[in-house]
């Protein structure tokens, strides 16, 4: 398909701004090849022509700036459309913040700014030039082609595959960082580049490309996730974090049915994960279990999912007749009731099933078709630890859960849930079985959480009531909202952020949750629709986007370009 050319012309001021931004990006690229400090810190940034850590991050920002500055004449031909002005402005702000924070890190670790070398100062000059150039082009009119631009199919497919590979590399790099400053500056770099690309509306183009090549995106994403253990060199700690992220993500996808599709606020969802975990523990053959029967894990997983779904039906039948704040209070109470009930099923206050506050411990590792998940295995010369075994198994389960969610979302049932979320009374007037679909959402989401819980019990080797508190439900809900309600990729990304960030911010000790909360507040302020936004929700939360879409529909330039 031929690309669409912009109808707007570039003024002298804008040309100057693009040149300044290009010069700033070039200086950032050059700074990465120079020495940043006299001291060998942050992977030894004192060496010239051998960029590491902070130097590489500056070069990535510079490369993005060069690409956006050249976009009106170069990238437009390849991608079909790029809107550089707001992206360069956001990138200039972010680059200035990054270089200032880098200088602060050097001052703290090396004993003062006197130990900062020429590379850091050239990076600061480049960032300021980029900031000035971005300010000059920040108001460049938006082109209506953004909503219909389409590049060559080969370029789109290669871009999708490259993004999957970059995501794999970024995840592996982030988990491998032990230095506090390097990890924070790496996150800042990703945030700066991501914000700039979002403001440049590159993600608009990527969203369209992903929609046109969904199978390529799905296969690429799961291929990258499958290859992740082979990048960790047998690190048990990193794979443990990754496994917990997958368990958390699978559970959040189940909650996404309830909150994201049906629009029901559930604050006690962690109880369904706990129900599956207790079923998995009770029938695991643990010495702490009062039941001696140990069925195959597939049977146990189905039992855990069905038991959680049954709890969803029991809770949902009387409570789904209320809505809004009242529903939230009732589900919050259910979560606490479940936790307290597990305390009391100790043989004294009730049946001997859960061993009370001591929980069920010494849960054996999974063994499926003779494959022992507790032992290390060597595949393709790479040793896969216990955590890696559970990671790959959980990846398979997550793929099934994603498939179920996608099928439900695109079915008549999914459309009914969306109708209920948008306007319950209007949906009921149109013949939608509101109560039945609400109940199905509760039971379906609970089933998926229950299945994930059975795996979690074996991975944790113990199940106690204190593991399933309200805070965990709040984190699950935050993953859905932060990632993007109603989306699959968004919820997975939200789960990754919410699980990875607290783990890697432990060096801030008691302040890590405070900093984490501030990041969430900033995120909700500037992108309330989530990291991966549902198009309908994005238009609801941004009036300017609605106006822009309306103007695009009426724009004579759009009609002329489409002709």
Which pLDDT belongs to residue 367? Answer: 87
Are residues 349 and 254 both part of a single domain? yes
Q: Is residue 529 in some structural domain?
A: no
Q: Is residue 2 part of a domain?
A: no
Q: Three-state DSSP class for 383?
A: strand
Q: Is 368 helix (H, G, I), strand (E, B) or coil?
A: strand
Q: Which of 10-19, 51-60, 329-338, 431-440 has the lowest mean pLDDT?
A: 10-19
Confidence check: pLDDT of 22 > 90:
yes
Q: Could you give the CA distance from residue 152 to residue 226 in angstroms, rounded to a whole number?
A: 28
The C-alpha atoms of residue 414 and residue 406 are separated, in whole angstroms, by 9
User: Is the same domain home to 473 and 553?
Assistant: no
Q: Do 199 and 284 fall into the same domain?
A: no
Q: Are residues 247 and 223 located together in one domain of the fold?
A: no
Parallel, antiparallel, or unpaired for β 377-379 and 367-368? unpaired
Place of tokens 């009374």: 425
Give the DSSP H or E segment for 296. Answer: none
Is the model's pLDDT at 545 over the cut of 70? no
Helix, strand, coil: what percent of the chain each, to 5?
A: 70, 5, 25
Residues 482 and 391 in one domain: yes
Number of separate domains in the chain: 3
pLDDT at 183 over 90: no
Final residue of a domain: which of 504, 526, 550?
A: 504
Summarised one tens digit per residue, pLDDT across range 280-307 is 999 988 888 888 788 999 999 999 999 9
**Does 122 fall in a domain?**
yes
Q: Average pLDDT, stretch 399-420?
A: 89
What is the pLDDT averaged over residues 411-434?
88
Last residue of a domain, one of 228, 247, 262: 228
Range of lowest pLDDT (62-66, 231-235, 347-351, 539-543)? 539-543
How confident is residue 552, by pLDDT bands cut at 50, 70 and 90? very low
| DSSP sequence for 33-92 | TS--BSS--TTTTTSTT---HHHHHHHHHHHHHHHHHHTTTTHHHHHS----HHHHHHHH
Are 561 and 463 part of one and the same domain? no
* pTM for this prediction: 0.83
Tell me the pLDDT band of 106, cut-offs 50, 70 and 90: very high
* pLDDT value of residue 458: 93
pLDDT surpasses 50 at 49: yes
pLDDT of residue 470 exceeding 70: yes
State whether 224 and 242 are in the same domain: no
Please check whether residue 386 lies inside any domain of the structure: yes
User: Looking at residues 98-111, what average pLDDT do you find?
Assistant: 93
C-alpha angle with apex 185: 179 to 186, nearest 5 degrees?
A: 85
Q: How confident is the model at residue 119 (pLDDT cuts 50, 70, 90)?
A: very high
Statement: residue 541 has pLDDT above 80: no
Residue 551: give the domain boundaries. Answer: 534-563
The torsion angles phi and psi of 367, rounded to 5 degrees, stand at -140, 105
Among the listed residues 175, 116, 123, 140, the one whose alpha carbon sits nearest the alpha carbon of residue 10: 140
Contact 320, 455 (CB under 8 A): no
Higher pLDDT, residue 532 or 297: 297
- 250 within a domain of the structure (yes/no): yes
Determine if residue 234 is left, alpha or beta; phi over 0 gives left, psi from -120 to 50 gives alpha, anything else beta: left
Q: Give the pLDDT band of residue 499 (cuts 50, 70, 90).
A: confident
Q: What is the separation, in whole angstroms, between the first and last Cα of the chain?
A: 13
Same domain? For 364 and 413 the reply is: yes
Q: Rg of the Cα trace of the chain?
A: 26
Same domain membership, residue 204 and residue 58: yes
In-domain check, residue 135: yes
pLDDT digits (tens, 9 = 90+) for 319-369: 777 777 788 888 889 889 999 999 888 878 778 888 888 889 889 999 888
Q: Is the pLDDT of residue 134 over 90?
A: yes
Which DSSP string corresponds to 138-190? TTPPPPGGGGT----HHHHHHHHHHHHHHHHHHHHHHHT---HHHHHHHHHHH
Q: What is the average per-residue pLDDT within 396-413?
A: 90
Residues 412-437 have a mean pLDDT of 88
Same domain, 320 and 450: yes
Nearest to 331 by CA among 225, 240, 255: 255
Mean pLDDT lowest for which of 144-158, 162-176, 313-327, 364-378?
Answer: 144-158
CB 534: neighbour CB atoms within 10 A?
Answer: 17
Residue 247 has pLDDT above 60, yes or no: yes
Residues 329 and 358 in one domain: yes
Distance CA 309, CA 450 (A): 8
**Most confident stretch, 137-141, 258-262, 309-313, 490-494:** 309-313
Distances (CA, A) of 327 to 21, 321, 322, 345, 532: 52, 8, 6, 27, 27
Token pair of 17 as six digits: 């701004």
Task: Name, in order, each residue with C-beta under 8 angstroms of 551's C-beta and a sequence gap of 6 or more.
Answer: 144
479 and 352 part of one domain: yes
Looking at per-residue confidence, does 58 or 232 come out higher?
58
- If you average pLDDT over residues 200-208, what whole number do you get? 79
Tell me, yes or no, whether 5 lies in a domain. no
CB atoms within 10 A of CB 525: 8
User: What is residue 367's three-state secondary structure?
Assistant: strand
> pLDDT at position 192, please?
93
Tell which of 504, 523, 547 closes a domain. Answer: 504
The secondary structure of residue 345, as a DSSP letter, is -
Report if residue 519 sits inside a domain.
no
């Amino acid at each position: 398909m031929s690309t669409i050319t912009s109808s707007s012309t570039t003024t002298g001021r804008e040309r100057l701004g693009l040149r300044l931004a290009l010069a700033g990006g070039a200086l950032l690229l050059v700074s990465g090849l120079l020495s940043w400090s006299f001291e060998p810190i942050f992977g030894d940034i004192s060496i010239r022509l051998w960029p590491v850590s902070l130097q590489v991050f500056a070069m990535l920002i510079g490369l993005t700036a060069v690409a956006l500055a050249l976009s009106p004449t170069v990238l437009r031909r390849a991608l079909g459309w790029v809107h550089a002005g707001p992206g360069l402005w956001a990138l200039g702000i972010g680059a200035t913040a990054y270089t200032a924070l880098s200088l602060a890190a050097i001052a703290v670790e090396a004993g003062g700014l006197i130990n900062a070398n020429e590379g850091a100062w050239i990076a600061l000059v480049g960032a300021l030039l980029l900031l000035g150039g971005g300010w000059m082009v920040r108001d460049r009119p938006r082109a209506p082609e953004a909503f219909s631009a389409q590049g060559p199919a080969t370029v789109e497919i290669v871009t999708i595959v490259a993004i999957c590979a970059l995501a794999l590399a970024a995840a592996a790099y982030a988990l491998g960082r032990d230095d506090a400053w390097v990890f924070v500056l790496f996150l800042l770099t990703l945030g700066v580049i991501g914000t700039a690309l979002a403001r440049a509306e590159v993600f608009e183009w990527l969203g369209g490309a992903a929609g046109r090549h969904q199978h390529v995106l799905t296969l690429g994403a799961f291929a990258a996730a499958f290859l992740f253990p082979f990048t960790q060199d047998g690190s048990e700690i990193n794979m443990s974090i990754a496994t917990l992220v997958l368990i958390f993500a699978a559970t959040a996808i189940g909650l996404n049915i309830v909150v994201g599709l049906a629009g029901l606020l559930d604050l006690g969802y962690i109880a369904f994960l706990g129900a599956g975990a207790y079923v998995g523990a009770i029938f695991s053959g643990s010495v702490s279990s009062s039941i001696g029967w140990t069925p195959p894990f597939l049977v146990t997983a189905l039992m855990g999912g069905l038991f959680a779904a049954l709890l969803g039906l029991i809770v949902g039948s009387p409570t789904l007749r209320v809505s809004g704040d009242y529903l939230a209070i009732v589900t919050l109470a259910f979560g606490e009731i479940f936790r307290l009930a597990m305390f009391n099923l100790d043989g004294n206050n009730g049946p001997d099933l859960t061993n009370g506050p001591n929980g069920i411990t010494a849960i054996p590792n999974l063994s499926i078709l003779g494959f022992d998940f507790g032992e290390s295995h060597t595949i393709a010369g790479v040793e896969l630890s216990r955590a890696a075994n559970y990671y790959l198994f959980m990846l398979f389960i997550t793929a099934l859960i994603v498939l179920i969610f996608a099928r439900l979302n695109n079915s008549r049932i999914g459309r009914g849930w969306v109708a209920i979320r948008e306007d319950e009374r209007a949906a009921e007037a149109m013949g939608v079985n509101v109560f039945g679909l609400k109940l199905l959402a509760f039971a379906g989401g609970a089933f998926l959480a229950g299945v994930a819980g059975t795996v979690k019990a074996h991975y944790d080797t113990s199940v106690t009531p204190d593991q399933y508190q309200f805070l965990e439900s709040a984190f699950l809900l935050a993953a859905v909202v932060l990632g993007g309600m109603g989306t699959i990729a968004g919820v997975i990304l939200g789960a990754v952020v919410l699980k990875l960030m607290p783990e890697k911010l432990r060096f801030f000790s008691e302040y890590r949750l405070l900093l984490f909360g501030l990041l969430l507040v900033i995120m909700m302020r500037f992108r309330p629709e989530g990291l991966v936004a549902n198009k309908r929700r994005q238009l609801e939360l941004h009036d300017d986007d609605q106006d822009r879409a309306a103007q695009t529909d009426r724009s004579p330039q759009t009609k002329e370009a489409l002709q």
